[in-house]
Amino acid sequence: MSYKIIIDSCGELLDEWKKDEHFESVALTLNVGGESIIDDETFDQADFLKKVAASPECPKSACPSPERYMKAFDCGADHIYAVTLSAELSGSYNSAVLGRNLLEEEKPGRKIHIFNSKSASIGQTLIGMKIQECEEAGYSFEKVIETVDEYIAGQHTFFVLDNLETLRKNGRLSKVKALVASALKIKPVMGSTDEGNICQLDQARGINKALVKMAGQIAEKTQNSEKKVLAISHCNCHERAILLKNALQEKMPLKNIVVLDTAGVSSMYANDGGVIVAV
């Protein structure tokens, strides 16, 4: 059976996926300072971060259109899957569902399933890896969906922000709180809820202490870690991501650790210096 895995561009693609016909990235559009930027292979992270820093307004994203998803689904694969950014954070999931419905009206009988990742960034990457693992093992379409749904239910996403400007600009953090946090070098440790929303788990004074607290949260919430792949994505801070990787390897046994640079949408969320972990 042939298969296709479509991941919206908030999810990072492994290098080997970029040349693999089984995978396709569907781009969101970023808007910063009145300029629209397509989150595809042309995305320039350094230039984007400069524009975000210079803009008084919060950057925003627009999800792919149903027609774009419809085009991605209209392929020759027997089994087609989409993995979208959390439906609590974006309209990407609903757009993918509409795209599937449009295609089914024209070409009924396709096996297409949309996974709401209830995560973002590297969490979507891990879900793509799980789908691939199931397909390569010869699972039926229905068994893949059942297995991946169970995986999503047990997945956790964490992140630490070094730069709080995006939170301030989008109203999640008041100007006074942002000023106090900046003056005291307080860094929030964030996580995902079961529904796929964002919550604050802890905070610490200084990025290194915040990363230590995040590592503790990860170890505490990860059961049977020796059987799991953990993934780290970072926004312009590779050395910090490697230090975290080494700390996690010392703290808990893991099947594997993947480290990737953030793509456009996750660069917008994490901002310069941010680190995201999913397991």
71-86 per-position pLDDT tens digit: 999 999 999 999 999 9
For residue 156, the model assigns a pLDDT of 96
Q: What are 162-214's pLDDT values in tens digits? A: 876 666 565 544 543 444 445 457 788 888 999 998 888 888 998 999 999 99
Pinpoint the residues of the chain covered by CATH 3.40.50.10440. 3-28+63-154
For residue 178, the model assigns a pLDDT of 45
CATH of domain 157-278: 3.30.1180.10
Q: What are 139-170's pLDDT values in tens digits? A: 999 999 999 999 999 999 999 988 766 665 65
User: 96: Cβ–Cβ under 8 A, 6 or more apart, which residues?
Assistant: 6, 8, 64, 66, 69, 82, 84, 114
Q: The pTM is what?
A: 0.94
Q: What are 87-101's pLDDT values in tens digits? A: 998 999 999 999 999
Among 115, 276, 11, 125, which residue's Cα sits nearest to residue 133? 125
- Counting residues of the chain whose pLDDT is more than 90, the rounded percentage is 81
Among 71, 92, 70, which residue's Cα sits nearest to residue 83? 92
CATH (one of 1.10.1200.10, 3.40.50.460, 3.40.50.10440, 3.30.470.20) for 3-28+63-154: 3.40.50.10440
